[in-house]
Amino acid sequence: MPDPRPPEPRQPESVMPFGEHLEELRRRLIWMLVAPIPILIAALILGPRILLWVTRPLEHALRAAQQPVNYIATSPVEGFVLYLKVSFVATLLVAMPWILYQLWLFIRPGLYSHERRFAYFLMPMSVAMTGLAIAFLYWVLLPFSLYFLINFGATLIKQDVPRADPPPGIVLPHVPVLDGDPAEPTPGQMWINKPLEELRIRTDERTTRTLRLSGDSVIAQQYRLDEYITLVFWLAILFALVFQLPLVMLLLGWVDIVRPADLARHRRMVIFGCATVSAIFTPADPWSMLLMLGAMVALFEFGLLLMRYVPAKRILGPEDPRSRWDDGNEEA
């Protein structure tokens, strides 16, 4: 049956020769590459702070498991390469709205007005869901998952420490346990910094040497910082994609491929699929799988709400003839 809706005329500015399309594409690509340069310079300046912010969940998990915060590098260039990687990724994340805006300026003249309405609704929601995914990963999943994995590895094998009374006349030295470093330590003084779990010794007027303290675990919890950063970046990409699930469901509902009632009827199968995805793509611990499963189920339910309360006719508006056609189609 042919579509009774009349085709909507395109905007006059969308009709342009092929050469002008290429020129417009070249202009947008130049803006995409040139505008983020100041952001890159700022990211290179703030690179160490960004790296400290990304590693903070790992640091807190190590301290909670009474493990020393001591990362390792296996090559001389690893630290510099990691610094560049973090700076470039931060630049890409900050500049992404600008890049998407330039892409939107390129494709906007070729869209119908109702297609623009859909884009105006979906693009801000996609950015918001991506931000929510990063926040969920950083403040919820990483702290629980890292603490479980580190604590499990640290307590898997513990050494049996023998006990013995000191010989007569031997007095054990006393090292004070402080909540921070003394204001003006003198050379030769030593103390334990409780928050840092470190034995600190002042060797001269300007230098303090440290010895990181650990528990009775036989398995040392020392990690390559590059591997941790790579894991966090891949999880961020995965969660950013997973959190687009409500928008994908909304799009499928708009084109009438699936309906909310059909998805609700097969909720058990959907939850089973979410559990499978969680088990495959999360780190090998139950906390990560359960947290991601819970997030995906919540996203699925949110997608059902969007499909029911934000149909295509609401985006089009009551004045659009397609809305009246959709109403008639639903009544039928």
Q: Is 152 left (phi over 0), alpha (psi -120 to 50) or beta?
A: alpha
* List of the chain residues with pLDDT < 70: 1-16, 18, 317-332
Q: How far is the CA of 54 from the CAs of 88, 102, 244, in angstroms?
A: 14, 29, 23
Residue entry with tokens 């590098």:
73
Inter-residue contact 25 to 127 (CB < 8 Å): no
Contact 310, 250 (CB under 8 A): yes
Render the burial of 183-214: b for 16+ CB within 10 Å, e for the rest.
eeeeeeeebebeebbbebbbeeeeebeeeeeb
Q: If DSSP states are collapsed to H, E and C, what string results for 35-64?
A: CCHHHHHHHHHCHHHHHHHHHHHHHHHHHH
Q: Provide the percentage of residues in the chain whose pLDDT is more than 70.
A: 90
- pLDDT computed for residue 13 by the predictor: 47
Q: What is the pLDDT of residue 10?
A: 47
> Strands 177-178 and 190-193: what pairing?
parallel
CA 247, 252, 253, 258 dihedral sign is negative
Taking the C-alpha atoms of residue 296 and residue 294, their distance in angstroms, rounded to an integer, is: 5
Residue 156 burial by CB count (10 A; 0-12/13-18/19+): exposed, middle or buried? exposed
pLDDT at 16: 63
Give the Å distances, CA to CA, from 331 to 3, 218, 254, 263.
17, 70, 16, 21
In contact, 41 and 91? CB cutoff 8 Å: no
Rounded to whole angstroms, the Cα distance separating 142 from 240 reads 15
DSSP state letters, 78-92 = HHHHHHHHHHHHHHH
Contact, 268 vs 275, CB < 8 A? Answer: no
The answer to whether the pTM exceeds 0.75 is yes
Task: Count CA atoms closer than 13 A to 304's CA, side-chain side.
Answer: 14
Tell me the per-residue pLDDT of 139-174, one tens digit each, with 9 for 90 and over.
999 999 999 999 888 888 877 888 888 889 888 889
pLDDT in tens, 53-74: 999 999 999 988 888 888 888 8
Alpha carbon distance 92, 39 (integer Å): 9
Written as six digits, the tokens of 260 are 């909310």
Cα–Cα distance, 162 to 187 (Å, whole number): 34
